[in-house]
């Protein structure tokens, strides 16, 4: 037989092709299976994590509720102990608070300093100059307040400074210059006067450093309010200071009125003069030697500006201050309960005064002016200061009879004035 020889490569080629196809199919299936396995494992892990987290939340949430039902023992109260590690947490808060307070304090001081500088431009000196050597020896000086400008004169409010024969009054300005001044008007009852300097006599340097004071109100002042003191609170050199109002219901009784004062915690003496400003730089009080001497203490006290505005206005305009010469006191509720009528109890009548001329006596009760009821000295003055010097008005009063009863009595009073025109 004849053997047929089949080429080797045909056999090998066919088998090789089949082997290659088989291997390729198996490898492809194995790769897909591994990927699916990994995805499955990851899914299981994710579900496990979610389940575990949910279980933890449920356990934490319900444990406090379950424990009391399982265990009858009460929960032990624990008071946090002082721990050193807690201190750093608290210290920054305390330090921050202190820092904030310091910042606030600095801000207040900065504001006060700014307003003090502005207000100081309205403070001058009013001096009595006896002779040429007085400036070298030191003259009598009071602090003055630039209160108004009438277009012709610059007007200064000050304690009364009297120039005798051969003397004159000078006003000193912040730039070091000075000008001759005249006394325009005075109120010896308050111890205050207004002095005038001709505008034309004031140099440009002085004008650039001065301004009239911004007048505020003292009616709203209360204890603890911050104030600025400027002038000569110690009676000699110029000085300034900050303090607080210590009494907002203090009064001084003078002829024809009772005046509300502003008392501060700032040291001074009975020779002081100057002004009291609020923290906005507004004039709210006038320091007067008369008040300081009567009060007899070592702290700064002044008239509340609202109490004397009308008087300042009259003095600045050259008008007389209405005056009757009645020294009285308010009839209190206690006195009313004892049978004394409501009104003003006359303690004293000044000699040679309009009140004395009208026949008013100590012990009389003043109950009205021209039909208007009077219940206090402040009330009396608020009406009197609007009367015209030289005119006449009627006072309604009561006088106690021999039997103790009060009878009506009227007085015709002519308005007088104690100020001097220079």
Q: What is the pLDDT of residues 230-263, one digit of tens each?
A: 999 888 788 899 999 998 778 999 999 999 999 9
| Confidence tier at 42 by pLDDT (50, 70, 90) | low
Are residues 171 and 125 in contact, defined by beta-carbon separation less than 8 angstroms?
A: yes
> Do residues 119 and 281 touch, judged by C-beta distance below 8 A?
yes
**Most confident segment among 58-72, 74-88, 326-340:** 326-340
Q: Which DSSP letter does residue 358 get?
A: T
- DSSP secondary-structure letter at 215? B
Could you tell me if 259 and 239 are in contact, meaning their C-beta atoms sit under 8 angstroms apart? no
State how far the Cα of 166 lies from the Cα of 276, in Å rounded to an integer.
Answer: 34
**The pLDDT of residue 159 is above 70:** yes
- Asked if residue 125 lies in contact with residue 143, where contact means CB atoms within 8 angstroms, the answer is yes
Mean pLDDT for 212-223 is: 93
Half-sphere exposure of 133 (CA within 13 A, CB side): 1
pLDDT in the model for residue 249: 79
Q: What is the pLDDT of residue 269?
A: 86
Contact 383, 369 (CB under 8 A): yes
Categorize the per-residue pLDDT at 131 as very low, low, confident or very high, splitting at 50, 70 and 90: low
Query: CA geometry: angle at 309 spanning 306 and 313, to 5°?
Result: 170
Neighbours of 35 (CB within 10 A): 9
Q: In this structure, are residues 124 and 147 in contact, taking their beta carbons and an 8 Å threshold? A: no
Q: Which domains does the chain have, with CATH numbers?
A: 226-316 (2.40.10.10), 326-414 (2.30.42.10)
- Mean pLDDT score, 398-406: 91
Q: Which tens digit of pLDDT belongs to each residue from 356-394?
A: 999 999 999 999 999 999 999 999 999 999 999 999 999
Distances (CA, A) of 40 to 35, 162, 206: 9, 111, 96
């Amino acid at each position: 037989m004849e053997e047929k020889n089949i080429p080797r490569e045909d056999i090998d080629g066919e088998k090789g092709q089949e082997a290659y196809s088989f291997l390729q199919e198996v490898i492809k299936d194995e790769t897909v299976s591994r990927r699916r396995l990994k995805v499955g494992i990851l899914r299981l892990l994710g579900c496990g994590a979610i389940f575990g987290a949910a279980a933890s939340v449920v356990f934490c949430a319900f444990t406090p509720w379950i424990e009391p039902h399982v265990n009858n023992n009460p929960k032990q109260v624990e008071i946090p102990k002082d721990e050193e590690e807690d201190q750093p947490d608290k210290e920054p808060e305390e330090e921050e608070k202190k820092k904030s307070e310091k910042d606030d304090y600095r801000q207040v001081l900065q504001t006060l300093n700014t307003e003090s500088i502005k207000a100081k431009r309205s403070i001058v000196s009013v001096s009595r100059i006896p002779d040429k050597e007085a400036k070298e020896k030191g003259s009598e000086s009071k602090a003055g307040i630039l209160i108004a400008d009438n277009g012709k004169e610059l007007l200064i409010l000050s304690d009364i400074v009297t120039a005798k024969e051969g003397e004159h009054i000078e006003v000193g300005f912040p730039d070091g210059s000075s000008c001759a001044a005249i006394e325009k008007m005075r109120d010896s009852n308050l111890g205050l006067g207004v002095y005038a300097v001709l505008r034309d006599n004031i140099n440009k340097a002085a004008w650039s450093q001065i301004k009239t004071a911004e007048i505020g109100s003292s009616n709203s002042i209360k204890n603890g309010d911050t104030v600025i003191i400027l002038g000569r609170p110690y009676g000699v050199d110029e000085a300034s200071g900050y303090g607080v109002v210590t009494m907002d219901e203090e009064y001084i009784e003078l002829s024809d009125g009772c005046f509300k004062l502003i008392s501060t915690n700032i040291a001074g003496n009975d020779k002081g003069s100057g002004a009291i400003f609020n923290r906005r730089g507004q004039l709210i009080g006038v320091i007067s030697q008369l008040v300081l001497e009567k009060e007899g203490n070592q702290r700064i006290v002044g008239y509340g500006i609202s109490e004397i505005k009308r008087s300042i206005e009259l003095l600045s305009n050259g008008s007389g201050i209405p005056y009757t010469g009645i020294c009285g006191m308010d009839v209190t509720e206690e006195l009313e309960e004892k049978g004394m009528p409501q009104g003003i109890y006359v303690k004293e009548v000044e000699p040679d005064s309009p009140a004395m001329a009208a026949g008013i006596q100590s012990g009389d009760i003043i109950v009205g002016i021209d039909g208007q009821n009077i219940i206090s000295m402040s009330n009396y003055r608020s009406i009197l200061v609007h009367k015209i010097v030289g005119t006449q008005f009627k006072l309604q009063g009561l006088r106690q009879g021999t039997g103790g009863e009060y009878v009506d009595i009227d007085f015709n009073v002519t308005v007088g004035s104690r100020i001097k025109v220079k």
